[in-house]
Structure 1
């Protein structure tokens, strides 16, 4: 019973310990940048929300110079999660967890400047007409320049014949207002304040900007899977009249939350669950959280989905018992095998003691026969003393576990028979005169009785 109780306590302790280590909070490093960007703000809000809800997953932001640096941090193993652009090189060890937001490419031309000596820019109405003009790109990332070149090449415009200049995002509105380019490109969410401010700065002298449609968006998406054909809704950037007045065809790409390929499936599933659980609560104070979407789980997705995220999306998350039931089962089997092996080994170690006790029991049986033939009370006393020693050794063997309860019961029966034989023989000898006792002893010694 003691061994069984100890084994049960050991199993319960092992399961409790495994549960504690499996469910204790885990902190994931997430690479995001650049500083003061919308992505950084989203990650900071998520970090605070995860900490306040005391979830299984906590976040530790690692600020980088941009999406390219974040992807490299993930590739180098310096981060567990990263915010990357879908139109840049994706690390080989990256798997999608969620779509943080979708960005659209916005190409527009400010209205023609009025007044003597002012350069007119209203003649550009189509992308092929950008050749020979200056195009301003909002943002310092090279990715936006590459996006512009891709669009120009689709329309057979040599990027070398286009003067491309870049403006920091916080200087875009001033650059547009000061007419530092003939056309502009911005890439960001539909509700991006940076894009909206830059377009608002394009309005001058009552004129409205001209939005250049990317009519070949579907062709670009087919040739480059990281892009999708999309549309800019009418009035997306506000103003009076609405800007744009009609829907404009364009291309879009996504910012993804990706995880290291080797990151635990259960950890990623827990992170994904927490992410979408708190998304609704963040929308009121942080509208960008509304743009977070589940990843593409198709096998031909541009970025393969992480199994943990796929399990959450498909409703196939594994519970603690689902994940560790096999280990618990095999642990119990191993514990049972170890218990059996231990019992056999303990029995083997007590083999000599058990054999010795068996010989003592045989000696006790012999003493029963000897007691019935004894002619001396002194001899009976000696046998009684020896029986006491045998009893003492037998009890020690039982306490040590060398003999079972059944063997002890058999010994008690033999001991009782011995005591009866001694008592009967002692009564008989006590009733005989001493001279007859001596004569019987002499005859027995001579072998005649």
Structure 2
């Protein structure tokens, strides 16, 4: 009879007795365990989400870039970039076009993510600047008259081109448009002149055959195509005459895509130097542009990679790849892409910068979820703790009654009730409603009750039967 509560519980589990009664419904402790499992699952899910986000954020991104015409320096530059970016986060997939106009159209139709375009062409509405690939100048010159051929009035000014034939180097319509802009600025009606275009590969031969009175070429200063064309214009040691575009500033006011520029003396080599003095002209740029909907982080990463390999491009393509940062002014001809602006301004965001808020809010959400779960579990155990407390008080009351009982049957009934209280207490402990301290206090009360019952039964057993019956009768009559 003097068994501890834990011993009784262990014995009941070993012999399969029904001390703990039938299986109870889900308890607060099981609910708590479920909440802990849910919290753990949520934490693992958060870690998986962070890992997944990092993977998707850091996985290679392939951008389609439109560039043309075939075999041009621009195509070669893009091919070099493609090789340089082969193992980087941003990678390129070149799409060759017929020229800058076709590249701009591909970007405007969202068939490309990036494009290399001329700044003096119609820029798609969804194009935003990423970098300036190179700056170009317009070169307008008149070859010297061939010996033995009757020469007309010498051309020294652009106004004197009226009624003449002008050869344009390159098949692109953009160069013809450039010539017309220059002519109109000087009051020359483009319809009053004859314009002949030559492919770049045929320009030198056409100039040697005197197919035009003057020529226009557009490209980087010291462009090989322009230099070869000017060298073909030299006859018997006589250098061509370069026509200055003095109204370059006025042209740039009317056409923002153009800017005043100059051709340095000796830019095209030769002896004497060609030109022999600085020549004023107009210039325009080739730009790398991005589609407006392209993510800011993608463009900023591409811009960073682009300028990281700039020195490589300059060493391989010194005339065609003088990359510069884009114009970030609000009134720029081509608005800058926010991603490129972030790189230029040093505000490029890291992975943690982009996703720290989401991670922090997720952690806060898990913390709140854990707190709510703990409160809910505690709330569910409140009634069970209160019920167990009343059962313990009942046990103490029975302890007092047992010490004065005169009936074996009454003691047995209280013993049965104590067993029921034991069962409920073990349920409470198993479900987490009471802790070790409460279980120890209950164990002390239970042992005192069993000792009182055992002592009282021993006392009643030693008494004569007539005295036991008399005591019962006295208790029954209330004496």
TM-score by length of 1: 0.89
* In 1, Cα distance between equivalents of 2:252 and 2:63: 33
Question: Are 1:427 and 2:419 an aligned pair?
Answer: no
Match of 1:225, SS? Answer: coil
Of 284, 302, 305 in structure 1, the residue corresponding to residue 336 of structure 2 is 305
Q: Does 1:382 align with 2:416?
A: yes
Does the Cα contact within 8 Å between 1:368 and 1:417 map onto a contact in 2? yes
1:93 aligns with 2:126: yes
Structural mapping, 1:24-43, within 5 Å: 24-43=59-78
Indicate conservation of the 8 Å contact 1:133/1:182, yes or no.
yes
- After TM superposition, list the pairs within 5 Å mapping 1:122-141 onto structure 2: 123-141=154-172
> Quick check: 416-425 or 4-13, which moved more?
4-13
> In 2 relative to 1, CA 382–289 (structure 1 residues): closer, same or farther, beyond 3 Å?
farther
Shift of 1:360: 4.6
Report deviation, 1:362. Answer: 2.1
**d(CA) in 1 for partners of 2:371, 2:474:** 54
Residue 313 of structure 1 deviates from its aligned partner by 1.3
> Residues 163, 290 of structure 1: CA spacing in aligned structure 2 closer, same or farther, 3 A cutoff?
closer
Q: Distance in 1 between matches of 2:101 and 2:440?
A: 86
Stretches of structure 2 that go unaligned for 5 or more consecutive residues are 1-32
Whether 1:414 aligns to 2:442 is yes
Query: Which residue does the alignment assign to 2:143?
Result: 110
- CA shift, 1:160, in A, is 0.3
Listed one character per residue, the Cα deviations across residues 260-318 of structure 1 (whole Å, up to 9, x for unaligned) are: 22222222111111111111133323324651111111222111111221121122222
SS at match of 2:364: helix
Structure 1 residues 121 and 263, CA gap change in structure 2 (3 angstroms): farther
- Could you give the per-residue CA deviations for residues 239-268 of structure 1, whole angstroms, max 9, x where no partner exists? 222211111110000001111222222221
Instruction: Give the structure, 1 or 2, with the largest relative contact order (CA under 8 Å, sep 6 or more).
Output: 2
Give the drift of 1:363: 2.9
The residue that corresponds to 1:66 in the other structure is 99
Find the partner of 2:58 among 17, 23, 32: 23
Distance 1:69 1:445, change over 3 A: farther
Q: Which deviates more from structure 2 when the two are superposed, residues 131-140 or residues 333-342?
A: 333-342
Q: 1:199 aligns with which of 230, 246, 255?
A: 230
C-alpha displacement at 1:440, in angstroms? Answer: 7.3
Q: 1:309-324 residue pairs with structure 2 within 5 A?
A: 309-324=340-355
Distance in 2 of aligned mates of 1:145 and 1:17: 53
CA RMSD in angstroms, aligned pairs only: 2.5
* SS across alignment from 1:137: strand
Shifted more, 361-370 versus 141-150: the winner is 361-370
In structure 2, C-alpha distance between the alignment counterparts of 1:441 and 1:325, rounded to whole Å: 81
User: How far apart are 1:412 and its partner, in Å?
Assistant: 4.0
The partner residue of 1:79 within 109, 112, 124 is 112
Q: TM-score, normalised by structure 2?
A: 0.84
**Offset of 1:434 from its aligned partner?**
5.1
Deviations 1:308-340 (CA, angstroms, capped at 9, x unpaired): 211211222222222222222222233333334
How far 1:6 moved relative to its partner?
5.5
Q: Residue 395 of structure 1 is aligned with which of 429, 432, 436?
A: 429
Write the deviation string for residues 101-151 of structure 1: whole angstroms up to 9, x where unpaired.
011001111110112xx3536711111111111111111111111100000
In the alignment, structure 1 residue 169 sits paired with structure 2 residue 200: yes
Which shows bigger deviation, 245-254 or 177-186?
Answer: 177-186
Report the CA distance between 1:397 and its aligned residue: 1.8
3-state DSSP of counterpart to 1:423 = helix
Q: Distance in 2 between matches of 1:372 and 1:346?
A: 35
Distance 1:440 1:333 in 2: 73
Higher deviation after alignment, 167-176 or 365-374: 365-374
> What does 1:206-221 correspond to in 2, within 5 Å?
206-221=237-252
* Change in CA separation of 1:226 and 1:446 when aligned onto 2, cut-off 3 Å: same
Is the counterpart of residue 331 in structure 1 residue 362 in structure 2?
yes
Map 1:44-55 → 2, pairs under 5 A? 44-51=79-86, 54-55=87-88
Work out whether residues 354 and 397 of structure 1, in 8 Å CA contact, stay in contact via their aligned partners in 2: no
Q: Distance in 2 between matches of 1:404 and 1:367?
A: 16
Mapped contact 2:136–2:218 kept (Cα < 8 A): yes
For the pair shown, the structure with the greater C-alpha radius of gyration is 2
